[in-house]
Amino acid sequence: MSDSQEDVGYVEVLIECPFCGGYVPDDFECLKCGSEILEEVEYEHMKFICSICRSEVSDGSDFCPTCTAVLE
């Protein structure tokens, strides 16, 4: 990869399961405890994760602070 090319990734939003406290990428069923998460649940805690290095990214960031991937 040349210096002019940059890795392009995306930010994956993970929500906190209200039953077990684990962070999951899906709002229908928790992958950790298997509980059904209904759409009516208000999510108080969310994480934003880089698709390339899986590091946590601040909401609204244009690039990952760990791997410097440009986020779509």
What does pTM read for this prediction? 0.54
Domain count, the chain: 1
- Tokens 């759409």, residue located: 39
Token digits of residue 12: 């994956």
- Tokens 């698709």, residue located: 51
Chain segment 12-57, per-residue pLDDT in tens: 888 888 788 888 876 678 888 888 776 555 556 678 888 888 888 8
> pLDDT tier at 10 (50, 70, 90 boundaries)?
confident
52: amino acid identity, one letter: I
Residue numbers of the domain that contains 16 = 1-72
Identify the bridge partners of residue 21 per DSSP, sorted by sequence position: none
